[in-house]
Amino acid sequence: MPTVRKLLEKINIGAGFEGELRYDEPMSLHTTFRVGGPADAWYRPSGDRSVEAMAILLKAARDEGVPVFMLGGGANIVVADRGIRGVVLDTTGWTGCSFTDSSVLVRSGTDVDSAADACAERSLGGLDFLAGMPGTVGGAVWMNARCYGSSVSDVLQETEILDEDFRRVPVPFDPAAFSYKRSPFQDRRVLIVSASFRLLPRSADALREAMRLHRADREAKGHYRLPSAGSSFKNDYAYGKPTGAVVDGLGLRGLRLGGAQVADWHGNIIVNTGNARATDIRGLARLVADRVREAAGLELETEMLYVGDWDEDEA
Ligand X SMILES: Cc1cc2nc3c(=O)[nH]c(=O)nc-3n(C[C@H](O)[C@H](O)[C@H](O)COP(=O)(O)OP(=O)(O)OC[C@H]3O[C@@H](n4cnc5c(N)ncnc54)[C@H](O)[C@@H]3O)c2cc1C
Catalytic residue numbers? 231, 303
Is 229 a binding residue for ligand X by CB under 6 A? The answer is yes
Residues ≥6 apart with Cβ < 8 Å to 264: 253, 254
Nearer to ligand X by Cβ, of 81 and 303: the residue is 303
Among 8, 66, 77, 80, binds ligand X (CB under 6 A): 77
Is 108 a binding residue for ligand X by CB under 6 A? The answer is yes
Query: Min. distance of Cβ 189 from ligand X in angstroms?
Result: 9
Nearer to ligand X by Cβ, of 75 and 171: the residue is 75
- The closest alpha carbon to 270, from 112, 29, 34, belongs to 34
How many residues lie near ligand X (CB under 6 A)? 31
Is 57 a binding residue for ligand X by CB under 6 A? The answer is no
Query: Min. distance of Cβ 101 from ligand X in angstroms?
Result: 26
Among 138, 244, 267, 308, binds ligand X (CB under 6 A): 138
Cα(13)–Cα(88) distance, integer angstroms: 13
Among 75, 124, 210, 271, binds ligand X (CB under 6 A): 75
Query: Min. distance of Cβ 76 from ligand X in angstroms?
Result: 3
Cα(172)–Cα(212) distance, integer angstroms: 32
Task: With both helix axes pointing from N to C terminus, report the angle between 50-64 and 2-10 in degrees, rounded to the nearest 10.
Answer: 140
Is 281 a binding residue for ligand X by CB under 6 A? The answer is no
Which residues from 155-184 bind ligand X, rule CB under 6 A? Answer: none
Is 211 a binding residue for ligand X by CB under 6 A? The answer is no
Query: Min. distance of Cβ 284 from ligand X in angstroms?
Result: 16
Nearer to ligand X by Cβ, of 71 and 207: the residue is 71
Among 136, 153, 159, 235, binds ligand X (CB under 6 A): 136
Nearer to ligand X by Cβ, of 125 and 138: the residue is 138
Among 42, 142, 178, 233, binds ligand X (CB under 6 A): 142
Determine the 3-state secondary structure of 268 from DSSP: coil
Nearer to ligand X by Cβ, of 22 and 182: the residue is 182
- The closest alpha carbon to 140, from 163, 116, 118, 123, belongs to 116
Task: Locate the DSSP E strands across the chain.
Answer: 19-26, 38-45, 68-71, 77-79, 84-90, 97-99, 103-107, 124-125, 146-147, 150-151, 156-162, 168-172, 191-198, 200-201, 228-231, 256-257, 260-262, 269-272, 305-307
Is 45 a binding residue for ligand X by CB under 6 A? The answer is no
Biggest distance spanned by C-alpha atoms of the chain: 58
Is 147 a binding residue for ligand X by CB under 6 A? The answer is yes
Nearer to ligand X by Cβ, of 68 and 292: the residue is 68
Over its C-alpha atoms, the chain yields an Rg (Å, rounded) of 20
Cα 213 to chain centroid distance, Å, stands at: 23
- Pairing mode, if any, of strands 191-198 and 124-125? unpaired
Is 143 a binding residue for ligand X by CB under 6 A? The answer is yes
Among 125, 139, 244, 267, binds ligand X (CB under 6 A): 139
- Pairing mode, if any, of strands 68-71 and 84-90? parallel
Tell me which residues touch ligand X (CB under 6 A).
Answer: 32, 69-77, 91, 108, 133-136, 138-140, 142-143, 145-147, 191-192, 223, 228-230, 305
